[in-house]
Amino acid sequence: MVLKRAEWPQADDFAIAVATKVANYGAYVILPEYGDKEGFIHISEVSSTWVRNIRNHIHENQRVVVKILKVDTDKMHIDCSLRRVSAETKRTKNNEWKRAQKAEKLLELIAKENGMTLQEVYEKIGWPIEDEFGEIYKGLERAADGGVDVFENVVATKKLRKQVADLAMQRIEIPSVEIDGELTITVPGPNGIEVIKEALSEGLVEGKKRDKSTTEIYTLGSPRYKLRIVSPDYKEAEDLLSDILNLVTKTVEDGSGTVSFLRK
């Protein structure tokens, strides 16, 4: 199902839609995030190219991402567009939908455990988590990693905060980002090997400063070395990569050597 706090979408929002009826002049859809309210996609909004057969673009029971063009709450009517949704927006919205579904399944378990309705659980803990983290599933990921303490500012009872955090830790796998690349290091002179060892050791020490990330550096056969970083998110991985490369480069260049890095 997946609930939205708003009863109606707003113009320019993107929403999940499921086609219920397809005609020559357009397609009727329901919006599951908004209580299965009905929307309509006019044939002119189906594709940017000429539509010879509308069913080549949308068919009954197909789930699509639409852009909301106009909402008339008095007439209970929502105009939607399929052609105004970019491929990137489609990927983003579908990912958001999948994350929301995962969050809702966890909230359903909390509802069952407490003899509450799903709507009550959303109101008592789901929406407060969204207020704090911007997205319910993001809050659940944080709790899976950091426990109930991350819910300190969530406006809910201690019991519910602990129940949700404990369940998140049991059921949610923390995502990770991997950066894999190859260092090429050359340092001329009799002390070259020692300079390289020192530079790589400094890189490993820097990597160990990040509790939630792992760093590996090993030889592929001089002058090539593998650098692999695994972090909980993209920003931390990139920041750590930058810090390590800066340290390695400074030490090597101070020893009159050169460094290059090629991402895989």
Instruction: Report the C-alpha gap between 170 and 224 in whole angstroms.
Output: 41
Q: Alpha helix (H) ranges present in 188-233?
A: 192-208
**Spatial CB neighbours of 168, under 8 Å, sequence gap ≥ 6:** 106, 140, 141, 143, 144
> What pLDDT does 211 receive?
84
Domains within the chain, CATH numbers bracketed: 14-84 (2.40.50.140), 89-171 (1.10.150.190), 177-263 (3.30.70.1130)
Check pLDDT > 90 for residue 156.
yes
Instruction: Give pLDDT tens digits for 241-264.
Output: 999 999 999 999 999 999 999 988
Return the exposure string of 83-99: e unless at least 16 CB atoms fall within 10 Å of the residue's CB, then b.
eebeeeeeeebeebbeb
> What pLDDT does 175 receive?
74
pTM: 0.69
Instruction: Give pLDDT tens digits for 25-34.
Output: 999 999 999 9
Considering the chain, what is the average pLDDT of its residues? Answer: 94
Check pLDDT > 70 for residue 204.
yes
Check pLDDT > 90 for residue 120.
yes
Instruction: Report the C-alpha gap between 182 and 168 in whole angstroms.
Output: 36
Instruction: Report the C-alpha gap between 144 and 173 in whole angstroms.
Output: 7
> What pLDDT does 1 receive?
67
- The burial of 131, by beta-carbon neighbours within 10 Å (0-12 exposed, 13-18 middle, 19 or more buried), is given as middle
Q: Quick check: helix, strand or coil at residue 1?
A: coil
Instruction: Report the C-alpha gap between 192 and 108 in whole angstroms.
Output: 61
Question: What is the token pair recorded at 183?
Answer: 């260092």
Percent of residues in the chain assigned helix, strand, coil, to nearest 5: 45, 25, 30
* Confidence band of 58 (pLDDT split at 50, 70, 90): very high
Over pLDDT 90: what percentage of the chain? 89
Question: What is the token pair recorded at 158?
Answer: 């201690």
Instruction: Report the C-alpha gap between 10 and 31 in whole angstroms.
Output: 13
